[in-house]
Structure 1
Amino acid sequence: MATVLSVSGSPSATSRTTGLLRHLDARLIAQGHEVLALDVRSLPAEPLLRADTRHPAIVEAAALFGRADGVVIGTPVYKAAYTGLLKSLLDLLPQYALADKVVLPLATGGTTAHVLAVDYALRPVLMAMGAAHVTPGWFTLDQHIAVSEAGTVTVAAESAAALKRVTDQFSAALGAPGPLRVRHTGQTPAVSLAVP
């Protein structure tokens, strides 16, 4: 089917966000997709902070975005927005790194006061990077995600059904030709209708 890049923007080694992404990755793999995982925290800090786009680790990360048909981006919410770590990587990618890609934005946080971060902080950046289709995202409370020492992820029932729904919508969008595609020309993106 499709190649999906699953990106965790969490700086934590014991991240519930990363655990949640790996949980959703398993569902996408079961649906026949190839899933590539990228934990931004595993990239070296120096090239991220110095904006070294020629560093081999940054070149490799950009190549993963280029290879993907779809991208799942997960982040904890800090100060009502996505993490600075994720922002550092997104800033180093080409302007239209998400052109012709389907994108699923996900966020986690400690309070429902941050629920709008997906739509008001993360979605505009994804659209500015040329995403062909940003599917409905989802915010999950930290307390609804449990990660065991063995790495097993359990999602509370009140969040599990919604996460399945948004993951399945993303999966369906990967397999269906979209009515609207963004074609990167190196300047202002041109919009063209995809004819099945």
Structure 2
Amino acid sequence: MTDSLRRLAAYDRALYRTVARLSTPLLDEPLRRVSDFANFSKPWLIVGSALALLGGSRGRRAAVAGLTAVGATSLVVNQPLKKTTGVRRRPDRSGLGVPEQRWVRMPSSGSFPSGHSASAAAFAVAVGEFLPVLRSPLRVAASVVAFSRVYTGVHYPSDVLVGATVGALFGRLAARLALRRWPPPAE
């Protein structure tokens, strides 16, 4: 490992420890629930289904773009990326000071990058391109999911940052392809 990578890993652990030391017991239960609820992209499947059922043709197009982005992102992040980046071990929550009351089940897959963060960002970016009124709320929701993964101790901050970046790129790509297929009506 080069000096630069060692230094980045040290910053990553330091930021992880900083989050672990936050004295925010009121957030423990809500962020644990958010982290668990985001398993298998449940929030994005629910919102996508609601958009498809209730959002008219524009909502259906947004749902297709968002769920396509989630699917493509999940496939790439959870298969080749996690396998080719050299399986990064999950953080040692107890050794790095994450209080047990925050813990969720520790995934068995590698830590890098965060699939939860990738899927959340992919959906938020893709749907936000079709429905600008949802752009901010979905990005806030995606950020909460991403932060919850560090807060509960299952990811380092860089896992979440890279996951969100990959997801945002796939979200943008899915939206562009969908917009090319279904251009917005002329006003």
Q: TM-score, normalised by structure 2?
A: 0.31
**TM-score, normalised by the number of residues in structure 1:** 0.30
More helix by share: 2
Q: Which of the pair has more CA radius of gyration?
A: 2
Q: Compare the two structures and name the one with the higher strand fraction.
A: 1
